[in-house]
Amino acid sequence: MSGPRLCLASASPRRSELLASIGLNAITCAVDIDETPLPEEPPEALVIRLAEAKAVAASTCDACIGDAAQLPVLGADTVVVCDGRIFGKPRDRADGAWMLRQLSGRRHHVITGVAVNGPQGLVSLSVTTHITLRQLDSNEIDAYWATGEPLDKAGGFAIQGRGALFVSYLEGSHSAVVGLPLYETAQLLAYQGVELWTPAPQQAMP
């Protein structure tokens, strides 16, 4: 893999792994911002606002400034929405169990906002994926929490892990549920001049 071509405003290993899966090596620079929704703020507006705030905040990170120029900075945020209620990361075991009981057997939405701050300015978008979880019983919820997997996941479950056993239906971007919609992210990065394909080395003529 080539040297870093962008900065990721996140400490999420999942987002780093998703970028690596499409051949992009990113420097990471976690930023601490207030993720509290504004009064009556729609979830789509919330994730875009937070993604943009992360991308802008990380742009001043020393790690994101190369020898020649500032690297494009990517920020992202994901929330789960059910019946208009926004589910972030669970505060504790009781909160995580409550979230899963609310989502059990029901259709909900996972919304991820992505922003890239680069030569073309700040550009952003959001992607919505529709998911239905099968009916969950209390023993499953308790056992799942005991794995430690739900602790830092929006909605209290991870589709890239054992939480996938709960998902009976998905419509939309699987990678967006993990944390980064790759198709749309690639479009934003290409717009900012990030090369997604490197030319194959030319072989010398005999």
Q: Domain extents for the chain?
A: 6-191
Taking only the tens place, the pLDDT of each residue in 15-74 is 999 999 999 988 999 898 998 999 999 999 999 999 999 999 998 887 777 655 588 999
**Planar angle of CA 106, 110, 116, nearest 5 degrees:** 180
Is 77 part of the annotated catalytic residue set?
A: yes
Catalytic residue selected from 34, 77, 95, 142: 77
Considering only CA atoms, which of 54, 107, 56 is closest in space to residue 83? 107
Taking only the tens place, the pLDDT of each residue in 158-204 is 999 999 999 999 999 999 999 999 999 999 999 999 988 765 555 55
Domain 6-191 fold: Maf protein (3.90.950)
Contact 153, 89 (CB under 8 A): yes
Confidence (pLDDT) at 196: 86
Confidence (pLDDT) at 202: 53
Contact 136, 118 (CB under 8 A): no
- Global pTM reads 0.88
For the cut 90, the answer to whether the pLDDT of residue 12 exceeds it is no
Say how far apart CA 87 and CA 77 lie, in whole Å. 12
Say how far apart CA 155 and CA 2 lie, in whole Å. 35
For the cut 50, the answer to whether the pLDDT of residue 1 exceeds it is no
Confidence (pLDDT) at 206: 53
